[in-house]
Copies of this chain bind each other. A is one copy, B any other.
Amino acid sequence: MRIAVINPNSTRAMTETIALAARRAAAPSTTIIACQNDDGPASIEGHVDGALAVPGLLRAIAAAEDDGADAFIIACFDDTGLDAARSLATGPVIGIGEAAAHMASLVARRFAVITTLSCSVPILADNLARNGLAALCCGVRASELPVLALEADPEAAGRRISEEITRAIDEDGAEAIVLGCAGMADFAAELAERHGLPVIEGVAAAIKLAEAAVSLGLRTSKLGGYAPARPKPGGFLRAAGPFVP
């Protein structure tokens, strides 16, 4: 099985980190095709960056599907362009944000999300409301750690995230933690041990859900909201695929 993992931004270091996490999570028989959106912004912080990333993201997905990819991961916790990607692709498309939330809901009754900056909080909260999992989310908390700080001083970053987890448990009743940034993946195991609760990282969760969907023979529905766009001037010139059961 071939899973395309698309970093919607153009920063190579992030693509490599994401690819590493994806390969670590993938089954031996899964081939990870990691790519990035060279036309996208250097990072995705907020709605404008997200919107600018989508056309390149869609092109990357179309190219990957033409190359035989069976499923697609959007490797940004905002689940950037998820609806459009589902309308375009024949195979399943999974966002890392929704993937982490789905997995959390299988091992806890209430989970909290710890993200980087507070500007992401409304985006993540809206996404959770939209896919229904807000019913199990007891809080989206910002660590106020910018992505770069995660790499620059991992020890301090780990402490900051850990503090926020303590608050999520004490103040919100969190029973599991979703790490709301791919850059936090390396902290997951240690935080789970320190706090004694499941800590879930999105890239790995998405890989496993994509493998699950492909194994089940599932493909994206082409009825209703994800009906394929017709090719048109200024639109997508490659016709979106039909539903293939």
Instruction: Using CB atoms and an 8 Å cutoff, list the residues of chain A in contact with chain B.
Output: 9-10, 25, 27, 39-43, 45-52, 54-55, 58, 81, 83-84, 86-88, 92, 94, 98, 102-103, 105-110, 118-119, 121-123, 126, 129-136, 169, 173-176, 189, 192-193, 196-200, 204-205, 208-209, 211-213, 215-230, 232-236, 240, 242-243, 245
A87 x B48 contact (CB < 8 A): yes
Q: Which residue of B lies closest to A136 (CB)?
A: B132
A25 x B216 contact (CB < 8 A): yes
Alpha-carbon distance A92/B54, docked complex (angstroms):
24
B175 x A224 contact (CB < 8 A): yes
B243 x A197 contact (CB < 8 A): yes
Alpha-carbon distance A101/B67, docked complex (angstroms):
30
Q: Which residue of B lies closest to A230 (CB)?
A: B45
Q: Within the complex, what minimum Cβ distance (angstroms) separates A65 from chain B?
A: 13
Q: Which residue of B lies closest to A80 (CB)?
A: B51
Q: List 7 extra interface pairs beyond A25-B215, A200-B218, CB under 8 A.
A: A41-B234, A49-B236, A107-B213, A129-B130, A196-B245, A204-B216, A212-B212
Alpha-carbon distance A122/B209, docked complex (angstroms):
24
Chain B residues with CB below 8 A from A224, complex form: 108-110, 118-119, 121-122, 173-175
A27-B27, A216-B200, A224-B110 known; A233 vs B48 contact (CB < 8 Å): no
B198 x A208 contact (CB < 8 A): no
Q: Within the complex, what minimum Cβ distance (angstroms) separates A75 from chain B?
A: 16
Chain B residues with CB below 8 A from A198, complex form: 218-221, 243, 245
A46 x B218 contact (CB < 8 A): no
Alpha-carbon distance A131/B133, docked complex (angstroms):
7
Alpha-carbon distance A104/B115, docked complex (angstroms):
26
Chain B residues with CB below 8 A from A228, complex form: 46, 48
Chain B residues with CB below 8 A from A58, complex form: 48, 51-52
Chain B residues with CB below 8 A from A189, complex form: 217, 245
Alpha-carbon distance A129/B109, docked complex (angstroms):
13
A225 x B42 contact (CB < 8 A): no
